[in-house]
């Protein structure tokens, strides 16, 4: 009888631990995947826009919670225009022309509904001097040939998010639950006593 009790305790505990381990990545918040300009980099010349790409699209319907702010070396806001959302990419026009350190702060809404935010610094060398034309020797240039336009990958053309990992995780959790139920029923089922 003690063996049955031990088994009846271990199977649900193992299933629960496995389910929690598999579900942990699914409940994680979105993260900043890439940024232009990147954190702690130096850019040269003017910068017209800041682009942030996240691991997932922001939660639809909460666009008012999305923010990109860039503060210039003199302490004033240098963002201009409106924030553009294209899938998981946020773009905000900026007017970065002065040399110095800029502070970028962002806020998004994760697909699980929780706000996420962070920031970083980047440096600008300022405007580049206009290029003055110089006299060059004239040599004929090769005529470029025009080929077919590249096509977008099939995943990009679909426009939707790839949900296959979530479906596999849900299917795995359902299968584990079913196995746990069957295991518990088999263990706790009483065998009929043999006739004496």
Dump pLDDT digits (tens) for 23-52: 444 446 688 999 999 999 999 988 999 999
When the pLDDT of each residue in the chain is averaged and rounded to a whole number, the result is 75
At residue 119, does pLDDT exceed 90? Answer: yes
pTM, whole model, 2 decimals? Answer: 0.53
- Tell which wins on pLDDT, 51 or 12: 51
Model confidence at 155, in pLDDT bands (50, 70, 90)? very low
For residue 150, the number of C-alpha atoms closer than 13 Å in the C-beta half-sphere is: 3
At residue 160, does pLDDT exceed 50? Answer: no
Give the structural domain span for 9.
2-25+163-188
> Last residue of a domain, which of 75, 95, 124?
124
Model confidence at 105, in pLDDT bands (50, 70, 90)? very high
- Tell which wins on pLDDT, 158 or 191: 191
CB 108 within 8 A of CB 91: no
Residue 44's CB: how many other CB atoms inside 10 A?
12
Whether residues 39 and 101 share a domain: the answer is yes
The total domain count for the chain is 2
Whether residues 65 and 120 share a domain: the answer is yes
Average pLDDT over residues 107-132: 84
Model confidence at 142, in pLDDT bands (50, 70, 90)? low
Tokens standing for 126?
A: 């300022």
Whether residues 56 and 98 share a domain: the answer is yes
Q: Residue 103 and residue 70: Cα distance in Å, rounded?
A: 6
CB 29 within 8 A of CB 114: yes
Whether residues 39 and 17 share a domain: the answer is no
What does the pLDDT read at residue 20?
57
């Amino acid at each position: 009888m003690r063996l049955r009790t031990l088994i009846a305790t271990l199977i649900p505990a193992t299933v629960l631990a496995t389910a929690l381990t598999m579900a942990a990545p699914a409940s994680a918040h979105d993260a900043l995947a890439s940024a232009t300009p990147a954190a702690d980099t130096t850019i040269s010349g003017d910068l017209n826009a800041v682009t942030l790409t996240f691991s997932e699209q922001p939660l639809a319907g909460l666009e008012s919670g999305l923010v990109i702010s860039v503060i210039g070396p003199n302490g004033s806001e240098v963002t201009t225009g409106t924030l553009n959302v294209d899938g998981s990419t946020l773009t905000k026009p900026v007017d970065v022309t002065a040399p110095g350190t800029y502070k970028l702060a962002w806020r998004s809404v994760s697909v699980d509904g929780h706000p996420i935010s962070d920031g970083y610094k980047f440096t600008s060398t300022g405007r580049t001097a206009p290029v003055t034309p110089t006299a060059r020797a004239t040599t004929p240039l090769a005529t470029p040939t025009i080929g077919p336009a590249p096509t977008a990958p099939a995943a990009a053309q679909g426009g939707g998010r790839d949900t296959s990992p979530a479906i596999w995780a849900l299917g795995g959790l359902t299968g584990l639950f079913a196995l746990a139920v069957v295991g518990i029923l088999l263990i706790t089922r009483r065998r009929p006593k043999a006739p004496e």
